[in-house]
Structures are given as structure tokens and as C-alpha cells.
Amino acid sequence: MNGMTPDSGKAVKSLERLRSEFPLEARVARASEPARATYARILARWLDAGAPAASQFPARDLDELAALDAALPIDGSVSAYPFSARDTGISARLRGQRLGVMCAIDALAVPLLADATVTIEASCEHCQKPIVLDAHADGSWSAAGVTPPIRVRYPSRRDPTSPCCSDLCPTIRFVFAGCETGCADEYLDLDDAIVVARGMFAFQVPMIREAQKRLAIASP
């Protein structure tokens, strides 16, 4: 199946809500120039080799990014939305490498950032049956053998003073249609969720591409 036939009104409203509840792009824009450069390198390293060691980056930049809830040193590695160094039960497999991600929406952003197809592996939040789908750089997707449509649960944020990875992200999960519980407004069709993901993380693309060029130049 290819996406890109979303309920544009719901996708736009959900994107606006996510940007309001977690204004990641605005926070990164407020960071110092050195911290923004470090942020871009962290993302590029994730795409190249998975979770990077915190020791690869200046501590002062990591402290600044952590204060903005943009990148988080955890267990010696650095998480940076959409990527998570801790297992969340959702991953994106890129060129054979498993990348941990923060939530369902974050997983759907990885094809855009990588400019490549990724295989997303998760499970339904309610029935726990496995969900595996291929998400492509152009925003389309396919899932072999899936009968029920796949949806994404996106409830409202509970505590905006906590890091997003410990408050909102654990609640944004993949769900099979028919397994939904609670408020119908909390659920997005997969195509709508892809639009939200791409809109939320599009600002990272030029930063990553520039960092990739610099890293390639610096490599022997």
C-alpha cells in the first residue's frame, strides 16, 4: 500500500498539537551554534552506526542539549529524538542495523532522515501481536500479510515538565484497527501518522546532510 492519501485536516491538527506539546525544532533553534553542530553530528552518527557514545561529543554541548530535551546522554550513549539508546519495543531496521526509536511517530520519520527504506518492528499496544512494515523515503509503506489496518495512538501529553521520552513517547504506539480503546480522537490512520512524523522531523534533514558531508571529509 502507498500512503499519501491522508485525512489532511486530522494530520495537520495532530502535527500542530505535537509541535505545541513538544516544540523540538524551536528548542534546537535556540541552542548555541556549537550545540546545534553537535546535535547534527549525533543524528548523523545514529544513521551511520547506531547509538553513539557520549564520549564522542563535547560535554558542554550535551549538557545544553539535555537541558532543551533535544538529546539525552543515557547509559554512556546519546539518545536524540527520534532515536533511543534504550529499548522501547519499537525499532527501525536500516541497512541491516537495528535502530531504537522513541515511539511510533518517531519510527515513521526515520525513512525521511535516512533517505532510505526502513523496516519498522513493533507490536500492537493492546493485543501484542507483532507489527512489521516497510516504510519508504517517499512516505509510502507496505506490510506483507497484514490484514487489520495499522493505526497509531497519540494521546495528549500528561506532564510537559518531564522529558518527552519519559512522558509522551511511551504512549505513542502502533495499534491494529479493531484493538483501539478509549477516545477515537487519539488514533491516527497510518498515512496520517506518516504526515505528522515527516512534518515533525523535516527540520533535521538539512542538518543531517551537512553533518554527513563534514564527517565524510574528516574521515581518512
Q: What pLDDT does residue 3 have?
A: 43
Question: Binning pLDDT at 50, 70 and 90, where does residue 6 land?
Answer: very low
**The three three-digit cell numbers of residue 209, written as one number:** 546532510
Q: What is the pLDDT of residues 54-89, one digit of tens each?
A: 999 999 999 999 999 999 999 899 999 999 999 999
Q: Are 57 and 78 in contact (CB under 8 A)?
A: yes
What value, to the nearest 5°, has the Cα angle with vertex 25 and ends 22 and 26? Answer: 85
Containing 215, the helix (H) or strand (E) segment is: helix 204-218
Beta-carbon contacts of residue 133 (< 8 Å; ≥ 6 apart): 119, 120, 141, 142, 143, 146, 150, 190
SS3 of 147, please?
coil
Q: For the residues 205-213, what does the mean pLDDT come to?
A: 96
Kindly state the average pLDDT of the residues 20-26: 96
Question: Residue 5 — very low, low, confident or very high, per pLDDT cuts 50/70/90?
Answer: very low
Residue 2 reports pLDDT greater than 80: no
Mean pLDDT over the full length of the chain: 92
Query: What mean pLDDT comes out for the span 124-142?
Result: 95
The percentage of residues in the chain with a pLDDT greater than 70, rounded to a whole number, is 94
Residue 20 CB neighbours (<10 A): 10
Residue 129: what pLDDT?
93
Question: What's the distance, CA 216 to chain centroid?
Answer: 24
Q: Is the pLDDT of residue 153 over 90?
A: yes
Residue 157: what pLDDT? Answer: 79
Q: How confident is the model at residue 46, as a pLDDT?
A: 97
Q: Which of 5-9, 14-18, 122-126, 131-135 comes out lowest in average pLDDT?
A: 5-9
Mind listing the pLDDT tens digit for each residue in 170-198?
A: 999 999 999 988 788 899 999 999 999 99
Q: Where are the domains of the chain?
A: 8-218
With cell 499519501, the residue in question is 4
- The CATH code of the domain at 8-218 is 3.30.450.410
Q: Which of 122, 149, 143, 136 is CA-nearest to residue 1?
A: 143
Residue 4: pLDDT over 60: no
Flag whether pLDDT at 145 surpasses 80.
no
Q: What's the pLDDT score for residue 76? A: 95
Helix axes 204-218, 33-49, angle to 10 degrees: 80
